[in-house]
Amino acid sequence: MADIRHKRIAEFIAPFRVTPGKRVVLARDFDPAFKAGIARKKDGEELLRHGVELLAEYQDKLAAQDTYGVLMVLQALDAAGKDGTIRHVMSGVNPQGVEVHGFKVPSAEELDHDYLWRYAQRLPARGDIGIFNRSHYEEVLVVRVHPAILDNQRLPEASRKGDIWKRRYREINDWEHYLSDQGYRLVKIFLNLSKEEQRTRFLARVDVPEKNWKFSSADAKERTYWDDYQKAFSEMLSATSTEWAPWHVIPADHKWFARIAAGAVLIDTLMRIDPRYPAVGEEQLKALAQTRLDLEAQAPAGAAPDPAAVEIAAEKKKAKKAAKKAQKANKATKKAKKAAKAEAGE
């Protein structure tokens, strides 16, 4: 059952993956309004619910195994839905195992270190999921569009010569490769928003009183650099999508779809890790068996000796029934496709 689920998720996210080594042009290669054939928002919400349940299951195993750390990197232009994606996708997970970090203007202390230092300080622990709401990629995006920012980074003159952006791509790739070798898995998400949809969302922030607090004139001003950002994003995606840390470009014009797609990429990563609950040794099993006997002996008159065992058995029966139903539906779908092909052939 897990193999079938993983296969379907992998097929669903395949169109979003940036093939390492491929030269990306956002406007040509990725449609911000794409919905993968999911016509209704209602259907999308149901898929997201199932995704959140699956994510919670794998997060629990990730924490128990305590071997791998997962870092989700979210990049996008303003109003693309980063906050909403985090809020909805992570709605069912244990908050103790998730940390979200947003990176604003660097502090004086951060500027006294290399440009990757402040990001390294916020990496998740093994067994946890960390989310960077904007990330180290700001160093080749905002800084590139506004190169005057480099003046504040106090770089030696020699470090500013040559192609600084090509050098930073290499440094970022090397850093991420190092993290991968140490047991970190990077989930890099770019929320791809169209210019018109961004304009619409900005207007909503102006027109709807409850959204006024979200509006920033600085964000609207950044729209004048739209083409510069599109070029910077395209070159970043081309240069830093690697086998160990590939980018996924998520269509963001429909918020509900972006949340499904981003969640699917994260779930796919966890399924590839395939975390397991730690094996229990023989001595511990004996101790558990004795504890069960002691607790069963303490059951009040008329109460089940082990109510938890009853619940577990019922859940297993329910899961088995659902698996049979899914298998039957899968066979029916294959049979229908076969019949349709035969009819088309006639």
Q: What is the pTM of this model?
A: 0.85
CB neighbour burial string for 205-231, b if at least 16 within 10 angstroms, e if fewer:
beeeeeeeebbeeeebebeeeeeebbe
Who has greater pLDDT, 322 or 290? Answer: 290
163-169 mean pLDDT: 96
Q: Over 60: is that where the pLDDT of 1 sits? A: no
The second-level CATH assignment, the architecture, of 2-273 is 3-Layer(aba) Sandwich (3.40)
pLDDT class for 267, splitting at 50, 70, 90?
very high
- Has residue 47 got a pLDDT over 90? no
109-118, 165-174, 261-270, 301-310: which has the minimum mean pLDDT?
301-310
Q: Which residues of 55-94 are buried (b: 16+ CB within 10 A; e: fewer)?
A: beebbebbbebeebbbbbbbbbbbbbbbeebbebbbeebe
The domain locations on the chain are: 2-273, 286-345
The pLDDT of residue 248 is 98
CA 322 to chain centre: 27
Angle (CA) 226 160 237, round 5° = 40
Read off the pLDDT of each residue in 210-235 and give the average, rounded to a whole number: 92
What are the b/e assignments for 186-204, b being 16+ CB within 10 Å? bbbbbbbbbeebbeebbee
**8 Å CB contact between 71 and 127:** no
Residue carrying structure tokens 């000796």: 305
- Please, what is the average pLDDT of the chain? 92
- Give the total residue count for the chain: 346
- 125-141 pLDDT, tens per residue? 999 999 999 999 999 99
Tell whether the model's pLDDT for residue 61 goes beyond 90: yes
